[in-house]
């Protein structure tokens, strides 16, 4: 993962110093869908680092003709970090679309870690069980879009393949995220 990060920085570094316009801005967001905070700080013209801490509740439901139905509920703490490259600021600006507060599309390297102290299981035959601690690390490459509107509404959606799952478990999985919230700070014109 570290090699991939260095490679990404090496590719973007020569272009970072040649740019005159600074597109990216610092943005702090309070998320509502999964309560938490995120902070995004500019590193270069179109490159930012975003850190996020949130609380989520995982829920699953399964049905089998032989085993019946079951469900689980998992309260989870989540920490994530991203290195984002915003690639379409000029195109959005040409069309007169919103670009302030990093409102653009991006490619990102993401790493995240989730921790759950307990998972609660319930099946239709009346069995109720509780399992112990679980933690899930993950890393991957995602494509996403972020929009921070003037009325303070913020939306951030991303999806992409997990590199960690392919290396650790030899299987394919996706990293997907939808964050709804409000951006904090002063309004700038």
pLDDT at 22 over 70: yes
Q: What is the CATH number of the domain that holds 150?
A: 2.40.160
In-domain check, residue 15: no
In-domain check, residue 10: no
- The answer to whether 72 touches 122, Cβ cutoff 8 Å, is yes
The boundaries of the domain holding residue 40 are 25-184
In-domain check, residue 20: no
pLDDT at residue 188, rounded to an integer: 67
At a CB cut-off of 8 Å and minimum separation 6, what does 66 contact? none
In-domain check, residue 1: no
Number of domains in the chain: 1
Average pLDDT over all residues of the chain: 86
pLDDT at residue 78, rounded to an integer: 93
Average pLDDT over residues 24-49: 94
pLDDT at residue 33, rounded to an integer: 84
In-domain check, residue 17: no
Least confident of 61-65, 71-75, 76-80, 84-88: 61-65
pLDDT at 77 over 50: yes
In-domain check, residue 80: yes
In-domain check, residue 13: no
pLDDT at residue 187, rounded to an integer: 77
pLDDT at 54 over 50: yes
In-domain check, residue 76: yes
pLDDT at residue 109, rounded to an integer: 97
Per-residue pLDDT of 91-147, as tens digits, reads: 999 999 989 999 999 999 999 999 988 888 887 777 778 888 888 899 999 999 999
pLDDT at residue 148, rounded to an integer: 94
pTM: 0.78
């Amino acid at each position: 993962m570290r090699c991939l990060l260095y490679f990404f920085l090496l590719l973007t570094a020569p272009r970072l110093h040649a740019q005159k316009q600074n597109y990216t801005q610092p943005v702090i967001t309070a998320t509502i869908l999964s309560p938490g905070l995120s902070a995004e700080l500019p590193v270069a013209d179109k490159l930012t680092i975003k850190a996020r801490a949130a609380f989520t509740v995982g829920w699953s439901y399964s049905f089998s003709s032989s085993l019946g139905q079951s469900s689980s509920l998992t309260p989870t703490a989540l920490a994530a970090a991203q290195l984002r490259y915003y690639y379409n600021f000029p195109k959005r600006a040409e069309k007169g679309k919103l670009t302030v507060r990093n409102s653009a599309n991006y490619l990102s390297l993401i790493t995240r870690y989730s921790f759950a102290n307990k998972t609660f299981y319930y099946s239709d035959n009346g069995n109720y069980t509780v399992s112990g601690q679980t933690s899930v690390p993950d890393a991957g490459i995602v494509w996403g879009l972020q929009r921070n509107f003037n009325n303070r509404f913020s939306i951030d959606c991303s999806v992409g393949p997990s590199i960690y799952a392919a290396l650790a478990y030899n299987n394919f999985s996706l990293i997907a995220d939808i964050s709804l919230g409000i951006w904090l700070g002063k309004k700038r014109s």
